[in-house]
Structure 1
Amino acid sequence: MKGSVRMGRVLGVPLRLHWTVPLLVVLFGYGLGSRTLPAGVPDQSNATYTLAGLAGALLLLASLLAHEAAHAVTARRKGIPVKSITLWALGGMTEMDRPRAADAAFLVAVSGPLTSLIVGAAAFGAGIGLDAISSWQVPAAVLLWLGWVNGLLAVFNLLPAAPLDGGRVVQAVMWWRTGDRDRAERAAARSGQVLGMLLIAVGWISVLYGVWSGLWLAVIGFFVLIVAGAERQRARMAPALRGVRAADAMSTPVETCQDWLTVERCIEDVALRAHHSMLPVIDFGGHPSGLLHLPRLARIPAQQRETLRARDVATPLSQGATCAPDDLLEDVLEKLSPGSGMRILVIEGQRLVGIITARDISRIVQRHALRGTEGR
């Protein structure tokens, strides 16, 4: 996810924190310290409420991490590669490869909400016990709040709509019963779109009635709607892409720019007649060395274009998407980083042999539809 920084590893999985995590801590800490705790445990100092609110927000962050770590651990036990865990303002996400079997998909999906329920029950029980045997009312109230929040988190995540865990559970069960993964993914994604629209509607209605927390609900709904739409599109394309090699989808020949050219020469000789918004750059040996994004070239001031070389403004090849001609297109797209764009360089050995763009993917899907075999 863009805007996140790496913060070590959790159980061997890279952990990333999005810039919105401090916002999450502040919002929940403020709500807990300024409203929930004063209402439940009155006559305490402001410092006590502030510290307790901060502690509760950090404990909530830790419980979100436990939820995502459960997904990651279960996936690894089922042989599914896990790339990273990212925490952000709307919770967390675990980036992993797609499960190859319905039972693995079910276990991975259900492990997160189950962990939240366990954490919630443990916190709630600890809060009741602490309140009964001691005078530590504020810590007990924080634990009770943490228990309720984790319970609500588990219930919300179990709603039967992708990308929520409940949607993944329904998808896995439908996949197991019908044997049709694509159909199961489309159904779960449709449910996600419906849920997203409902959350947005309820959120805005709440705001109109003066309940400003509805804005948060609308933001969650918007996120669910966008992700569900993308997943539905991917599920519709999957049958057309299955079994297709990168070599069968790529466009040739590929327009390239020598990396030693000045930006001015690159624009005049190559970019102005380019068919794509991205240009591969090649070194003296003819090997691809990076990627030039034309919008970035356009932003370079005119006085710098005669001194800067193409290699100076190119994105390193390691940060782009590449594959071999014999790689299956479905696997290539699955491993595509979210921010890399739909442009894949096809490299054989050290030689650039083709490029795959969104237009190439669309062409394959259209041909598949003309044969009358597209999944509905």
Structure 2
Amino acid sequence: MNGSVRVGHVVGVPLRMHWSVPLLVGLFAFGLGRQALPVWTPGRSAAVYAVAGVAGAALLTGSLLLHETAHAAIALRKKISVEDVTLWALGGTTRMGRPQTAAAALAVAVSGPLTSLLIGGLALGAGIGLANLAGWAEIPAVVLVWLGWANLFLGVFNLLPAVPLDGGRVVQAVMWWRTGDRDRADLAASRGGQIMGMLMVAVGWISVLRGAPGGLWIVFVGLFIMIVAGAERRRATLHTSLQGVRVADAMTGPVVSGADWLTVQRFIDEVAVPSHHSAIPLLDFEGRPSGLVQLRRLATVPPASRETLRIREVATPLSQCAVAAPDEPLSQALDRLTLSTGPRILVVDGGRLVGIVTGKDISRLVQRRSLGGAGADGRPDGEP
């Protein structure tokens, strides 16, 4: 979600807005104010249509936010970490950790569509009720009916069995529950998402060739589904290939680290430059890990502040880092990765930092196993 900015919080998690949201609101407002309302309630002024169009677009955007908020709220209730909620051109997305049970995955998946269907039903009912009144109520009635049908469509569309749509998540959860094999369920659902995405792209292009410009939106949605489903298929394949592998089998140690009480300038001179690493763990006064600092973050610190600012103040705290024990399954540890620290897992044993797992470590391990040079435990054949 590059290009999004933080605008607040919702249910305790950061709320971000993509630059495409104003464009989305504008399109909704134009479609309602310049096309739908003049047809359904003719004879009103352009100003009335414009205000009603903007109001309807704002209400629809708010309903999209409620859809994603439902996902985030249920995820938090099921003890699933939620990184943020982001609104963008295709509605919204909630970035969260992987559910640990099929029941939790199902609850999170259905919460969004059910919220949209509930909003749709309430708005439609309220609009039909107002339609029986004359005069001023006609415009609000049309806006509410439009909002209701839009939410009903959103709820039904999201139930299509294609990852990353909520319906695809439902398929994942049900298959996981029936087979007991999470990776198999993820792989099957992601394949279904890719197939559905290709079908949508084909239908969209046929619509465009027949003179329907709206087919471009279907093409765009289909491409999005194909890309995300492909990424999830690769992740499921990775999890399958790492079965039986421990974190210790992939980690690198000892780890180059730095004291978290150093100033930014001193840290750069004494630790960052000599290490040649893009991210470095931090240790507190007692030698325990306290966070992770990325060099690209240091580059944003003004030179005038580097002599007084402590390095821990610009680092990602340990609570937001992916942390694992050496004997823990690597596939399970991978589920804790976040965008804030990238593909890095801090390996901690007895409160001490003993190693780190990076994307290169995982890639090297997978390549070694694919060549048949490692046993089931991930260590080279013959190693005790």
User: Which TM-score applies when normalising by structure 1?
Assistant: 0.79
How far is the alpha carbon of 1:113 from its aligned partner?
Answer: 1.7
Q: Distance in 2 between matches of 1:76 and 1:282?
A: 30
> Offset at 1:356?
0.9
Tell me the equivalent position of 1:115: 115
2: CA distance between counterparts of 1:199 and 1:175?
26
Tell me the SS of whatever aligns to 1:353: strand
Cα distance 1:325–1:72, how it changes in 2: closer, same or farther (>3 A)?
closer
**Paired residue type of 2:68:** E
Corresponding position of 1:187: 188
CA separation in 1, counterparts of 2:297 and 2:312?
A: 8
1:157 aligns with 158
Identity %: 52
Amino acid at match of 1:127: G
- In structure 1, the residue corresponding to 2:218 is in which secondary structure? helix
CA distance change for structure 1 residues 50 and 337 in 2, over 3 Å: closer, same or farther?
A: same
Q: CA RMSD in A?
A: 3.7
- Higher deviation after alignment, 316-325 or 109-118: 316-325
Q: Give the aligned residue type for 1:340.
A: T
SS in 1 for 2:93: strand
TM-score by length of 2: 0.78
For 1:210 and 1:313, locate their aligned partners in 2 and report how far apart those are by CA, in whole Å: 58
Distance 2:337 2:256 in 1: 22
SS of the aligned residue for 1:336 comes to coil
Seen in structure 2, the aligned counterparts of structure 1 residues 285 and 193 have a Cα distance that, compared at 3 Å, is same
How far apart are 1:164 and its partner, in Å? 0.7
Alignment deviations for residues 299-344 of structure 1 (CA, whole Å, 9 cap, x no partner): 99xxx8xx98997799514287342434543343222213532123
Residues 279, 291 of structure 1: 8 Å contact kept: yes
Q: Counterpart of 1:321?
A: 321
1:334 partner amino acid: D
User: Partner residue of 1:14?
Assistant: 13
Partners of 1:160 and 1:166 within 8 A in 2: yes
Q: Which runs of 5+ in 2 are unaligned?
A: 377-384
Alignment size in residue pairs: 363
Q: How does 1:82-161 map to 2 (within 5 A)?
A: 82-83=81-82, 84-135=84-135, 136-161=137-162
The structure-2 alpha-carbon separation of the partners of 1:252 and 1:110, relative to structure 1 and needing over 3 Å to count, comes to: same
Give SS of 1:344's match.
strand
Q: Distance in 1 between matches of 2:196 and 2:29?
A: 28
Equivalent in the alignment of 2:50: 50
Superposition pairs of residues 258-269 of structure 1, within 5 angstroms: 261=266, 269=274
Of residues 353-362 and 217-226 in structure 1, the stretch that sits farther from structure 2 once superposed is 217-226
Q: Give runs of aligned pairs for residues 1-376 of structure 1, distance below 5 A.
A: 3-10=4-11, 13-20=12-19, 21-76=21-76, 79-83=78-82, 84-135=84-135, 136-204=137-205, 206=207, 211-242=212-243, 244-255=245-256, 261=266, 269-271=274-276, 277-280=278-281, 316-318=315-317, 321-326=321-326, 327-348=328-349, 351-366=352-367, 370=372
Cα shift at 1:33? 1.1
Residue deviations 1:58-107, cap 9 Å, x none? 21122223323333444455x33352433332212233443333333333
Q: Tell me the SS of whatever aligns to 2:9.
A: strand
Q: Is the 8 A contact 2:38 2:49 kept in 1?
A: yes
Contact residue 289 and residue 316 of structure 1 kept, 8 A: no
Any conservation in 2 of the 1:281–1:311 contact (CA below 8 Å)? no
CA distance in 2 between counterparts of 1:100 and 1:351 reads 27
Contact 1:322 1:347 in 2 (8 A): no
Letter aligned with residue 226 of structure 2: L
Q: Mark the runs of 5 or more structure 1 residues left unpaired by the alignment.
A: none
Contact 1:206/1:212 (<8 A) preserved: yes
- For 2:329 and 2:148, the matched residues in 1 are separated by 46
Distance 1:339 1:199 in 2: 33
Q: Using the TM superposition, give the Cα deviation of residue 157 of structure 1 relative to its aligned residue in structure 2, in angstroms.
A: 0.7
**1:48 Cα deviation (Å)?**
0.8
The alpha-carbon distance between structure 1 residues 292 and 204, as it changes in their structure 2 partners (threshold 3 A), is farther
